[in-house]
Homo-oligomer: A and B are copies of this chain.
């Protein structure tokens, strides 16, 4: 089985229980992953997360950031995790057991971020709009929701089992044929939003959900790094035209 050359980062979005952060860190260590980022942890929660057997290094180097974008900016692949039970999702859910095949079919390589939502609410629709794919653990219908630390452990195990873990990437080499990373897509989206704003596309009440749809639309285009640069340039030109005409 050929390994999938991905370097994984585990991202916990707003976890509420310090024990779960510790348990997640330990699972990373158990399976040879290294990078943990926590988005907007409650202050005391983050303070209390001091140690986890064998995972001291991982916790010491773990980052806490304020926004999801900071956690995934440089990732070519962003994958969300969900039980898929609480809301009707309009997207295909990849069973965890099928995840490696999904990655292989896409010839995925580079940096990848795996997002886990908070214990209570999971990932929001906005978080999900950043994701190239959504993975679901095939749990029992009457008890679908897993404990956060256990879910992280299952993903780490499955990534290791299926050959989807690579050694840490060396120098951040840009591969322009790979999916544009989250940061450059977000730049394109911001530019597009300004242009569309000038064009009167947004309604004040639905602006947020319109942006989520646009982000999904952009993701689904499957832009490469190069595509994102080209599209960004086009939009910059349009924006300049509109602004200079308006001024």
Contact = CB atoms under 8 A, between A and B. Distances in A.
A144 B19 contact: no
Q: Which 4 A-B pairs have the closest CB atoms?
A: A54-B143, A29-B143, A150-B153, A30-B139
Interface of A: 19, 23, 26-27, 29-32, 53-55, 97, 137-140, 142-147, 149-150, 153-154, 157, 160-161
A144 B30 contact: yes
A144 B32 CA distance: 10
B153 A138 contact: no
Contact of A145 (B32, B53, B97): B53
Contacts of A27: 146-147, 150
B149 A149 contact: yes
B32 A146 contact: no
Given A31-B139, A31-B140, A140-B31, A26 B146 contact: yes
Contacts of A30: 137, 139-140, 143-146, 150
A150 B137 CA distance: 14
A22 B27 CA distance: 18
A160 B26 CA distance: 23
Contacts of A23: 147, 149-150
A17 to B, nearest CB: 10
B160 A138 contact: yes
Contacts of A29: 140, 142-143
Contacts of A54: 142-143, 145
A145 B27 CA distance: 10
Contacts of A31: 139-140
Contact of A154 (B26, B55, B157): B157
Contacts of A146: 26-27, 30, 153
Given A97-B161, A153-B153, A153-B154, A32 B147 contact: no
A32 B32 CA distance: 29
A98 to B, nearest CB: 10
Contacts of A55: 143
A31 B143 CA distance: 8
Given A97-B161, A154-B157, A26 B140 contact: no
